[in-house]
């Protein structure tokens, strides 16, 4: 079955006041691929992600998600999306297990086994209040909540930034396990190039408001003969 | 199957994994007809994307080194393609020539070099 791209951005322009962040950006993410989005601080990764999700409206251009206009996404399409924002805001007065049960209640097909397994593997304190949890622990909870309903598209904004090395490796293995070839689409932004090469099959580099490079990581390496981090640095000096 | 992945290298992961499987087939660490781990299992073990492993298996299958039996998995081919063997020998000869040259530079006698190689092989067998 040839399907539409999971995510399609065309000619996206978005400014904040006088500052133009995205300048006619194009990006297509085919269904079933795992794309890592690289960019310096302030390059517009979060803006790109929010445009793709229909959380902010670009001044120009079109954003499509699962074949629908991102700005007017149907409830059915929304139910097929999982999103972990960069800054996680969860009800501080709730306990972890209550939040999981509360979120699960919204979805007819919640994967209780998966969530239970990773709550245990990630040492998530089920009985603790969310308020005092560390940034890394909150991030873990947010990742689980975004995965529990078995989404077709998973969008993560710097998911591994606050995780310790062990949690990061466990998180990578979770994404690798979930990203069955051809089925689930994953888009994640990151600074950690080594993680990106493991988990992603392709990479998009955001620079000056546009995608400066998009393709297979192995093709980039065959061209440059250096690792991803060096390529990224060179691209910004050259 | 022991495979190491180095993301800090300029060599793509796909190439790193393919080279290690080729080397293990050439050395006999992987025997003809032996079953390789599933794409999913190897991806989980190495913590790399399943598509990456799939591309490696497809490439080595195209080279004739591996065989994919539908629904049954991926196996080392019963007969290693002869071109592959020649290429492996060639690669090894180049490395040996380099070691021999280095030994000469360092003033190491041929007998001593033989002994060193023997020691290394013995260590590998333990």
User: A181 and B50: CB-CB below 8 Å?
Assistant: yes
Q: What does the pLDDT look like over A199-215, one tens digit per residue? A: 998 999 999 999 999 99
Torsion of CA A211, A48, A14, A54, to 10 degrees: 140
Q: Do A218 and B48 touch (CB under 8 A)?
A: no
Average pLDDT in chain B: 87
Q: What is the mean pLDDT of residues A221-225?
A: 88
Nearest CA distance, B13 vs chain A (angstrom): 7
Q: pLDDT value at position A174? A: 86
> Cβ contacts (< 8 Å) between B15 and chain A: which residues?
218
In terms of C-beta distances under 8 Å and separation of at least 24 residues, what long-range contacts does B23-31 make, across chains too?
Answer: B23/B88, B25/B65, B25/B76, B25/B80, B25/B84, B26/B80, B26/B84, B26/B85, B26/B88, B30/B1, B30/B76, B31/B76
Report pLDDT digits (tens) over A126-170.
Answer: 999 999 998 888 988 999 999 999 999 999 999 888 888 888 888
Q: For residue A88, name the pLDDT band (cuts at 50, 70, 90).
A: confident
Residues A221, B43: C-beta atoms closer than 8 Å: no
Q: What does the block give as tokens for A134?
A: 């560390």
Q: Residue A169: which of B5, B9, B47 has the nearest Cβ?
A: B47
Quote the pLDDT of residue B89.
Answer: 77
In Å, how far is A200's CA from the nearest CA of chain B? 6
- Can you give the pLDDT at residue A51? 97
In this prediction, residue B23 carries a pLDDT of: 86
Span A59-88, average pLDDT: 94
Cα–Cα separations (whole angstroms), residue B100 to B107, B110, B121: 10, 8, 16
Q: pLDDT tens digit string along A171-186?
A: 888 888 888 777 899 9
Q: What is the mean pLDDT of chain A?
A: 91
Cβ-Cβ pairs closer than 8 A, A with B, add up to 62
In percent, the amount of chain A with pLDDT more than 70 equals: 99
B-interface mutation test, from A190, A197, A220, A234, most B Cβ less than 10 A away: A197
Q: If pLDDT is split at 50, 70 and 90, which confidence band does B95 have?
A: confident
The C-alpha atoms of residue A45 and residue A203 are separated, in whole angstroms, by 13
Q: Which of A88-92, A129-133, B67-71 has the highest mean pLDDT?
A: A129-133
Select from B10, B50, B55 the Cβ nearest to the Cβ of A221: B10
Closest CA to A63 of A153, A144, A149: A153
CB contact under 8 A, B7 and A230: no
Mean pLDDT along residues A26-55: 94
Per-residue pLDDT band for A1 (boundaries 50, 70, 90) equals: very low
- ipTM of the prediction: 0.79
- pLDDT category at B84 given cuts 50, 70, 90 is low
What pLDDT is recorded for position A60? 97
Q: What is the mean pLDDT of residues A102-117?
A: 92
Whether A2 shows a pLDDT value over 70: the answer reads: no
Q: Do B50 and A227 touch (CB under 8 A)?
A: no
Q: Write out the residues of chain A at the interface with chain B, using a CB-CB cutoff of 8 A.
A: 33-34, 169, 172-173, 176-177, 179-181, 193-194, 197-201, 217-218, 221-222, 224-230
* Topology at the third CATH level for domain B13-76: Arc Repressor Mutant, subunit A (1.10.10)
Residues B49-69, mean pLDDT to the nearest whole number = 92
Highest mean pLDDT among A107-121, B74-88, B89-103: A107-121
Q: Are the beta carbons of A217 and B47 separated by less than 8 Å?
A: no
Q: Do B52 and A201 touch (CB under 8 A)?
A: yes
Show the tokens assigned to A74: 């149907």
DSSP string, B20-47: HHHHHHHHTSS-TTPBPPPHHHHHHHHT
At A166 the pLDDT is 86
Q: Band the pLDDT of A236: cuts 50, 70, 90.
A: confident
Residue A20 has pLDDT above 50, yes or no: yes
pTM for this predicted structure: 0.82
């Amino acid at each position: 079955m040839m399907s539409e791209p999971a995510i399609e951005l065309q000619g996206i322009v978005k400014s904040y006041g006088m500052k133009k962040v995205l300048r006619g950006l194009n990006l297509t993410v085919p269904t079933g691929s795992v794309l890592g989005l690289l960019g310096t601080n302030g390059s517009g990764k979060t803006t790109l992600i929010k445009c793709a999700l229909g959380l902010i409206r670009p001044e120009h251009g079109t954003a499509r998600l699962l074949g629908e206009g991102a700005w007017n996404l149907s409830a059915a399409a929304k139910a097929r999306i999982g999103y972990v924002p960069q800054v996680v805001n969860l009800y501080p007065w709730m306990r972890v297990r209550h939040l999981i049960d509360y979120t699960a209640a919204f979805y007819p097909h919640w994967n209780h086994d998966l969530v239970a397994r990773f709550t245990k593997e990630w040492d998530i304190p089920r009985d603790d209040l969310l308020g005092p949890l560390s940034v890394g622990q909150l991030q873990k909870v947010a990742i689980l909540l975004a995965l529990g309903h078995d989404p077709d598209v998973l969008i993560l904004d710097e998911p591994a930034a606050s995780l310790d090395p062990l949690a990061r490796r466990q998180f990578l293995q979770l994404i690798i396990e979930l990203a069955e070839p051809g089925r689930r689409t994953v888009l994640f932004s990151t600074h950690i190039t080594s993680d990106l090469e493991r988990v992603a099959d392709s990479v998009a580099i955001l620079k000056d408001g546009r995608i400066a490079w998009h393709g297979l990581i192995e093709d980039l390496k065959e061209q440059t003969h250096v690792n991803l981090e060096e390529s990224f640095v060179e691209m910004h000096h050259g | 199957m022991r495979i190491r992945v180095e993301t800090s290298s300029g060599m793509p992961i796909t190439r790193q994994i393919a080279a290690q499987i080729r080397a293990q087939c050439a050395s006999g660490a992987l025997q003809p007809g032996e079953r390789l781990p599933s794409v999913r299992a190897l991806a989980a073990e190495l913590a790399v994307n399943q598509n990456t492993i799939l591309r490696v298996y497809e490439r080595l299958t195209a080279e004739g080194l591996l065989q994919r039996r539908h629904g049954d998995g991926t196996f080392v081919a019963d007969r290693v393609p002869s071109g592959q063997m020649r290429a492996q020998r060639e690669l090894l000869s180049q490395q040996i020539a380099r070691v021999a040259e280095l030994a000469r530079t360092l003033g190491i006698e041929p007998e001593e070099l033989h002994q060193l190689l023997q020691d290394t092989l013995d260590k590998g067998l333990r």
